[in-house]
Chain A
Amino acid sequence: MSLVARYLEAHGIPTVILGSALDIVTHCAVPRYLFTDFPLGNPCGAPGDGAMQDRIVRSAIDLFDAATAPMTVVRSAEIWPHGDGWRPRYAEVRPEDREKLLAAGEKRRADRAAKAAS
């Protein structure tokens, strides 16, 4: 999505990215970015919390007015309401899962190869 933002902006359409993977988005350098420090999947706010979602989307829209230079990054003040347990769980590689992960990778490569050959 960061590449799309850059492309649209270069062709005259101002953009705001509203999303959660801070390192990936800033690595790409985008025009305007509202960062929500939430698990991937809920960039606009926690499920079931319409008031939070409303505040976050308004903040994203406000950035169109507030940003005066590229690479404007604003961190939303909203806090994920269910603790920090999600952080270590994303793409976690536990020693006991290594065999399963390797098997999943092998299956995926085989499926891809079969699809490419068909």
Chain B
Amino acid sequence: MSTVNYMQRTRDFYAAQGYERAYVWAHYDEAPFASLSKPLAQCTVGLVTTAALYDRKPLEPRHVDSAATEPGPERLYANDLAWAKESTHMDDPGSYLPLPVLKRLVEEERIGAVASRMHCVPTEYSQRNTLENDAPEILRRLREDGADIALLVPL
């Protein structure tokens, strides 16, 4: 079964809603690459999600947000985002929030630690806003937490 063509599907959907200008997704031909500065078993892992800590209303402004990872949020919210609401649900946090597995990996000494906070980054229409505001703020918070590496889990 071929994968879903999300860009075309989204363009068609918004065109059907009467939007005249199609969204242009970020595109690059190359990617940066940073090597691990220490063995994985010594790395503190930061966790970043696109979901929210509370049930945002439609059109409500989205901001970078953070929560403690011990014990960690009971669940996250994304009613204001586009996802496969017609096909699945978010009632099992383990399906989108990997904190329990990361904590097991610490116990098994596969990773060094889970950072004391996890972070929520908004999905933004404006790529400029992501690059100039949200991404630097996530970097700042990860550094503050002592995170060596980051696992990013978009919804």
Chain B residues contacting A5 (CB-CB under 8 Å) are 150, 152
Determine if B17 and A45 form an interchain contact, defined as CB atoms under 8 angstroms apart: no
In the bound assembly, the distance between CA atoms of A22 and B116 in angstroms comes to: 30
How many B residues touch A, CB cutoff 8 Å? 80
Binary flags per residue of A89-118, CB closer than 8 Å to B gives 1, else 0: 111010001100110111011011001000
In the bound assembly, the distance between CA atoms of A77 and B97 in angstroms comes to: 20
Determine if B27 and A40 form an interchain contact, defined as CB atoms under 8 angstroms apart: no
Picked from B18, B91, B94, B148, the residue with its CB within 8 Å of the CB of A13 is B148
Determine if B6 and A23 form an interchain contact, defined as CB atoms under 8 angstroms apart: yes
Picked from A45, A61, A98, A101, the residue with its CB within 8 Å of the CB of B151 is A61
Q: B residues engaging A (CB < 8 A)?
A: 1, 3-7, 9-10, 12-14, 16-19, 25-37, 40, 43, 45-46, 48, 50, 58-59, 78, 82-92, 94-98, 101-102, 104-105, 110-111, 121, 123, 127, 130-131, 134-136, 138-139, 142-143, 147-155
